[in-house]
Amino acid sequence: SYVLTQPPSESVAPGETARITCEGNNIGSKSVHWYQQKPGQAPVLVISYDKDRPSGIPERFSGSNSGNTATLTISRVEAGDEADYYCQVWDSRPDCVVFGGGTKLTVL
Amino acid sequence: QLQLQESGPGLVKPPETLSLTCSVSGGSIYMSAYYWAWIRQAPGKGLEWIGNIYHSGSTSYNPSLKSRVSMSVDTSKNQFSLRLTSVTVADTAVYYCARQNYYEEGDYWGQGTLVIVSS
């Protein structure tokens, strides 16, 4: 089965740029989706299809995907961005949705 | 605005069957190209996709749970349901329902419901 690997944690100072990676074998050939989850809340889609922002998601959130690594980038980080972030892909052999283990983003 | 709401028992005894229902409002479960998914999250852990169902009744399940999972849809009530048999304490989790674009992104999620498996 397909495996997505994320760093367990990342830390960033307010106003700086956070980069959260998601590694998988030839992940660049798949579409990657990113979710933000705050404590006690349901996940919220922040990036779809590698780099598309759903309505209502700030422009500070962006994504890229190439080779074996997809990256979620959060510019000008704010305290409210502190959350767990999950990447997700569709593995077609067999059809299954796969999530990364999640990255806890701490705003210092 | 589409809304999803999970409902069902919050406590299930092993090895009984866990049954949950997701009620969809603000839109039809017949929406073309959209599938209806169940995802769970054990306490302090990550997200795990359980499976999804189309309004036609076509289903797809996570291979790791396939032998114990079944899903159904009730289009007359705009609801879909999850059954997980032979539960153990390892099935204790918050269970979410979501709208999924085929097997791609989940764009609308329910608030989640905690199911505890305990004797």
CB-based burial, B21-53: b 16+ in 10 Å, e otherwise: bbbbeeeebeeeebbbbbbbbeeeebbbbbbbb
Q: What would the pLDDT profile of B57-93 be if each residue is shown by its tens digit?
A: 999 999 999 999 999 999 999 999 999 999 999 999 9
Alpha-carbon distance of A102 to A4, in angstroms, equals: 9
Alpha-carbon distance of B82 to B18, in angstroms, equals: 8
User: Cα–Cα distances in Å, from A33 out to A58, A96, B32, B55, B83?
Assistant: 16, 14, 21, 23, 27
Report the residue count for chain A.
108
At A21, list the tokens: 């990676």
- How many CB pairs below 8 Å do chains A and B form together? 59
Write down the pLDDT at residue B51: 97
Interface of B with A in 48-107 (CB under 8 A): 48-49, 52, 60, 62-63, 96, 100, 102-107
Q: In whole numbers, what is the pLDDT of chain A averaged over residues? A: 97
